[in-house]
A and B are shown apart, each in its own frame.
Chain A
Amino acid sequence: MSLIAITEVKKRFGDNEVLKGISIDVARGEVVAIIGKSGSGKSTLLRCINGLETIDQGSIVVAGAQFLPDEVHLKALRLKVGMIFQQFNLFPHLTAGGNVMLSQMVVKKTPKEDAEAVARKMLDRVGLAHKFDALPDELSGGQQQRVAIARALAMQPIALLCDEITSALDPELVAEVLAVVKELAAEGMTLVMVTHEMRFARDVCSRVVFMHQGRVHEIGAPEDVFANPRTPELRQFLGVQ
């Protein structure tokens, strides 16, 4: 059974239909890259999986948790899928450690000592154990994004959604974040990522989804999608003729 089942999802903003019936199944342990031009609906799709956007039609089921727009269902859904954002969105008033501890204590009611132990472990996992007491202001973009990953991991999600997580980074900082993601993938974490890093998508992902105008235009293994693009839209997007 698939871990994330997206079935015929439609979403419109006013007159603009952003998602026109999307169906994707993601199996446990899969790493799926969603590529496409801006405005193709890829970020919106990701945000729907986490319940940050409501859907108009269709269904999204994550490990048995149905997407329904009330607080109880949303919370159940969000405990299963973590999300990492382009702009990191660390809490600026808390230290790196505090960022990783907060939701454990508030949402899961984990005692402080245990939350701290988990936070130290997760920060160590992203290579930032020594930055436990640093404020987000004092960290580079790449470090902030790694803290954000640690923060999501601390909730022990079964899948992670990554929304263009390297797009706001200086080029030399991209690698350190991708290295962390690659490691997660190797450990068997289910990942759905919207990305512009084609090389990364080709090397790490098990499947690539090309979205175009609110639809899944092509889907397949990275070697197929990148080596033999079937549609002119994908060929144009990849810059091959």
Chain B
Amino acid sequence: MTEFSFWDILRNLLLAARWTVVLSLVSFIGGGIVGAALLFLRIGARRGMRVLSRGYIQLFQGTPLLMQLFLAFFGLGLFGIDVPAWLAACIALILWTAAFLAEIWRGCVESIAKGQWEASASLGMGYLQQMRYVILPQALKVAVPPTVGFSVQVVKGTALTSIIGFVELSKAGSIVTNATFQPFTVYGLVALIYFALCWPLSKSSQLLERKLNVAHRNH
């Protein structure tokens, strides 16, 4: 039987952690883009679009990410489309992230005082101009801490993709455990790597919140 050193285990886990990072980045950036589109539909003037967007958000917030992964992976397969695990993982995570980010950002936009809308309207600005020059610049400031905070959830969410066979950190953990029979060491290391990824994000979210609040103390 082959012997595995501690270094072998760690090296394999770190190699797999790259995929966790890549998947997190793809989900977060993709989710951000889709989320921004959802946000505009959600708070836009067209009622049909508002309802549609709200339905989407409720659907994705109201079902487990695991089910969404299964549906993306097996669901499309039913139509004869062969979906590789990495693609299903990306799609499901992007759609899931988008729903949460859209809702977080909606809160930020709505936190901007009504007077800002009225003042800009009374100066003759149209809806898009109000958004572009008055509301979003303020809302973005409010949005940074919760958005960075949510990125932690995205990183941890990627762990679920192991279940459809995408080899990221968690999946690598179970593979290495099966080979080494050292579950405590392996999963301990897996947890530490997740923590090393997430903790700086949580911490920076806190710092940003404090920093941006100072700049915004009177509002």
Query: Which residue numbers of A lie inside 8 Å of B, CB to CB?
Result: 50-52, 71, 74-75, 78-79, 82-83, 85, 87, 89-93, 102-103, 106-108, 137, 148, 151-152, 155
Residues in B neighbouring A52, C-beta threshold 8 A: 118, 121-122
Report yes or no: B115 in contact with A89, Cβ–Cβ below 8 A.
yes
Q: List, in ascending order, chain B residues with CB within 8 A of A151's CB.
A: 123
Whether A75 lies near B115 (C-beta < 8 A) is no
Chain A residues with CB below 8 A from B129, complex form: 106-107
For chain B, residues 127 to 168, give those with C-beta under 8 angstroms from any C-beta of chain A: 127, 129, 133-134, 137-138, 141
The CA of A92 and the CA of B113, in the complex, are separated in Å by: 11
A85-B118, A91-B134 known; A107+B124 contact, CB < 8 A: yes
Looking across the interface, which residue of chain A has its beta carbon closest to that of B118?
Answer: A52
CB distance from B118 to the nearest CB of A (A): 6
**Is A137 in contact with B116, judged by CB distance below 8 angstroms?**
no
Contact stretch, chosen from B51-59, B99-107, B183-191, B211-219? B211-219
Inter-subunit contact B133/A50 (CB<8 Å) = no
Q: Which of B125, B138, B218 is within 8 Å of A103, CB to CB?
A: B125
**For chains A and B in complex, what number of residue pairs have CB atoms within 8 angstroms?**
66
CA distance A152 to B120 in the complex (A): 10
Roughly how many angstroms separate A152 CA and B126 CA in the complex, as a whole number? 16
Q: Is the interface of B mostly helix, strand, loop or mixed?
A: helix
CA distance A152 to B118 in the complex (A): 13
Known: A90-B119, A91-B116. 5 other contacts (CB 8 A): A71-B126, A91-B119, A92-B216, A103-B123, A106-B125
Give the top 7 A-B pairs by smallest Cβ distance, nearest first: A89-B119, A103-B123, A89-B115, A83-B122, A107-B124, A78-B124, A93-B137
Complex CA distance for A85 and B117, rounded to whole angstroms: 12
Residues of B within 8 A of A75 (CB): 124, 126
Contact A152 B217 (CB under 8 A): no
Q: Which residues of B sit under 8 angstroms from A102, Cβ to Cβ?
A: 123, 133-134
Contact of B115 among A79, A85, A106, A137 (CB under 8 A): A85
By a CB distance below 8 angstroms, the chain A residues around B218 are 92, 137
Q: Which listed residue (B118, B121, B124, B137) contacts A155, Cβ 8 A?
A: B124
Contacts of B122 in A (CB 8 A): 50, 52, 78, 82-83, 152
Interface contact B125-A107, CB-CB below 8 Å = yes
A107, B121: Cα distance in complex, Å: 10
The chain B residue sitting closest to A86, CB to CB, is B115
Closest to B135 in A: A91
Contact of A92 among B118, B121, B123, B138 (CB under 8 A): B138
List the B side residues contacting A50 at CB < 8 Å.
122
- Find the A residue at minimum CB distance from B127: A71
Cβ-closest chain A residue relative to B215: A137
The distance in angstroms between the C-alpha atoms of A52 and B125, with both chains bound, is 12
Residues of chain B within 8 A (CB-CB) of A152 are 122-123
Least Cβ–Cβ distance between A105 and chain B, in angstroms = 9
How many Å from the CB of B116 to the closest CB on chain A?
Answer: 6
Q: How far is the CA of A151 from the CA of B219 in the complex (A)?
A: 20
Complex contacts, B113 vs chain A, CB 8 Å: 87, 89
Whole-angstrom distance between the Cβ of B119 and the nearest chain A Cβ: 4
